[in-house]
Amino acid sequence: GDMLQADVATTIDRSQLKARFLEASMLNAHAFYAVAPWTYISLMKLHNLEHGKGWQKGIGNISVSSDAAMFARTILSNLSAEDLPVPGVASADGGSVALIWTIGVKQLEAIFGPDKMGSFVLSDGDKIIDDGEIAANDTASLFGALEELMAE
């Protein structure tokens, strides 16, 4: 009776969700073909974070502002020629987006805010070796930090 109905409804919801997500992926696919694989994966992660339910187990409701996501996308597209590892993509305070690149003990954490301003910190173990601001028209310091991250 009721149990079965609930199950059926859930299955339908799930397949509709899947179809909707596939459609969104295909719509975006043409925009991604020219970028590096890590950028593609990062953009998909960002898309999922922005359009997902925003629920993270043990943390609760987490959502990112679409302005912050757009800002992060702008910067990612500027970086797409670089050969970088895939960053972790997470939400940060105030609807900001965090991208975290890790190589060995080195880590670069970049925060992109909804106000189109951002900042980054490059650390080597527990030592901070670089930090700075990020703006849409000023990515030089972030590029420099990424190069330091990749340097042997």
Beta bridge partners, 123, equal 107, 128
Query: What are the tens digits of pLDDT across the range 97-120?
Result: 999 999 999 999 999 999 999 999
pLDDT of amino acid 77: 84
| Contact (Cβ atoms closer than 8 angstroms) between residue 85 and residue 79 | no
Q: CA-CA distances (angstroms) from residue 71 to 24, 25, 65?
A: 20, 20, 10
pLDDT of amino acid 3: 46
| Contact (Cβ atoms closer than 8 angstroms) between residue 24 and residue 33 | no
Band (pLDDT 50/70/90 cuts) for residue 9 is very low
pLDDT score of 19 more than 80 = no
Of the two residues 136 and 60, the one the predictor is more confident about is: 136
Query: What are the tens digits of pLDDT across the range 45-100?
Result: 888 888 875 555 555 556 789 999 999 999 988 886 678 888 999 888 889 999 99
**3-state SS, residue 128:** strand
Q: What whole-number distance in Å separates Cα of residue 105 and Cα of residue 98?
A: 18
Burial of 77 (0-12, 13-18, 19+ CB in 10 A): middle
State the chain's mean pLDDT as an integer.
Answer: 78
| Contact (Cβ atoms closer than 8 angstroms) between residue 147 and residue 139 | no
pLDDT score of 4 more than 80 = no
pLDDT of amino acid 53: 52
